[in-house]
Amino acid sequence: MYQSREKEILPEYWYNVVPDLPEQLSPPKDSKKDTSSIDMLNRILPKKLLEQEFSFKRREKIPEEVMELYHQIGRPTPLVRAINLEKKLGYSGKIYFKYEGATVTGSHKINTALPQAFYAANEGVQEVVTETGAGQWGTATALAASLNGMRSKVFMVRTSFNQKPLRKQIMEIYGAKVVPSPSIETEFGRKTLAERADHPGTLGIAISEAVEYALDKGFKYLLGSVMNSVITHQSIIGLETARQLEIEGEEADVMIGCVGGGSNFSGFVFPFISGKAEMIASTAEEVPKFTHGKFGYDYIDTAGLLPQLKMFSLGAGFVPPGIYAGGLRYHGAAPALSMLVHSGRIKAEDVGENEVLAAMRLFAGTQGIIPAPESGHAIASAIRYAKRDPQSRKNIIINVSGHGLLDLSIFSRGEK
């Protein structure tokens, strides 16, 4: 839908929410007395990315080279009216979904991997390093590195590494070296394995390993979520959505997305933050960061190599169960998103596995798309919303952050 008007839909600038927040974001915090983990970011992040991380600018120009890559990987992504789902639910309003699964890597993650890799390549970097949970971020990094002429290395959470061999294969086809985390390639990985040889891994541990590896080897580390700069890049989702709704002559009344670290949700809703749309962040019942987490400073990664951020967190040492939606296992959430949930501007709700699987089946059966299980949470929350008041005329907009074609095994596990 609207692909023929792509120049009209693709924005020239990303949007940074920081100047429009109701309160000031708390700065990152060091915890070690004699060194600065904030200063350490200079060694592992591309300079331009770090500049964007602490930027006050509301708008950030998308480089022409990145814009070209956005076209190549399938942007703008479609905004589709889910007419069949509306009918099935007997909902009187309209339901739209923004389909980030239409990118070549199958999720929103490529939106920030491309500019980050571009900035790293501009600095003459030969290799980039990152972590991945469910595999979408690793896939995006692998492709972005390849498109920018660099090698890539991905520390993949062990439980996903074992459950998703196809993800690993895709990353390798794009040229990445993929290792299960915890691994024996870093000091922190070896220490973790010494404590528990069958450790399933967490995103926090994988981040620590990737950062340690980047520091040791002098490579650049790419950020998958949580940080402001990532969310700024992901604002392309919301900016396109706003333009597509405008073309359609509609407005967003309710916006719903899923939250792991918070990048797809924040990128989707932040461009609408000054408006009146209701916003719902859908999280996994097994990782209830907003409903049971604490709002305060906590580490981004388990080893505490990176600075602490003020955010909702279940604790950097939290080891979630090996759930069906690997991308939602992260212990924390982006600071700006956490602030807006804390203030009540954004509502949060937890959704359990059975409800998510049912929502995914319903969505696949009505719209033909098998969503990623992470996105299944957003769809489940949207169905809940529509069922609560079927006579409502409100426009519900869902961000379907990725497809689930590599997650089909979850359907064979059977409902709990």
Partner 1 sequence: MKPRLIIYLTLGFPDNEFVEDFVQNIPDGIIDGFELGLPSSDPRYDGPKIRSTHGERNHFSQDHMGRVLQTCSDRKIRVNLLSYYSDIENEGGKNLQMLAGLSAHEMIVPDLLIDYAEVADAFISSLKASGISLIPFFNAATPDKVIKKYVNETDSWIYYGLQPSTGINVPVNIPEVVERAKSVIHERDIIFGFGIRNGGDAAEIIRAGGHGIAIGSAIVDDLAKHDERAAILKISEYREAIDSAV
Which residues are at the interface with partner 1 (CB under 8 A)? 18-30, 32-36, 38-39, 41-42, 47-48, 50-51, 53-57, 310
Burial 92-124 (b: 16+ CB within 10 A, else e): ebbbbbbbbbbbebbbbbbbbbbbbbbbbbeee
Closest CB 340 distance from partner 1, rounded Å = 12
Q: Which is nearer to partner 1, 29 or 177 (CB)?
A: 29
Q: For residue 310, what are the β-bridge partners?
A: 297
Q: Which is nearer to partner 1, 42 or 72 (CB)?
A: 42
SS (H, E, C) 230-282: HHHHHHHHHHHHHHHHHHHCCCCCEEEEECCCCHHHHHHHHHHCCCCCEEEEE
Amino acid at 303: A
Closest CB 16 distance from partner 1, rounded Å = 10
Q: Which is nearer to partner 1, 28 or 189 (CB)?
A: 28
> How large is the angle between the packed helices 335-343 and 228-248, nearest 10 degrees?
60
* Radius of gyration for the chain, computed over Cα atoms and rounded to the nearest angstrom: 20
295 with 342: CB under 8 angstroms? yes
Closest CB 25 distance from partner 1, rounded Å = 5
Q: Which is nearer to partner 1, 21 or 277 (CB)?
A: 21
Closest CB 55 distance from partner 1, rounded Å = 7
Q: Which is nearer to partner 1, 6 or 30 (CB)?
A: 30
DSSP-derived secondary structure for 160-224 = HHHH-HHHHHHHHHTTEEEEEES-SSSHHHHHHHHH-TT----HHHHHHHHHHHHHHHT-EE---
Please tell me the distance from the alpha carbon of residue 73 to that of residue 120, in angstroms, as a whole number: 19
Q: Which is nearer to partner 1, 242 or 336 (CB)?
A: 336
Looking from the CA of 314 toward its CB, the CA atoms found within 13 Å total: 22
Closest CB 63 distance from partner 1, rounded Å = 16
Q: Which is nearer to partner 1, 176 or 311 (CB)?
A: 311
For residue 293, count other CB atoms closer than 10 A to its CB.
Answer: 23
Alpha helices in 272-407 (DSSP H): 289-292, 335-343, 353-367, 373-388
Q: Which is nearer to partner 1, 97 or 272 (CB)?
A: 272
Closest CB 35 distance from partner 1, rounded Å = 6
Closest CB 310 distance from partner 1, rounded Å = 8
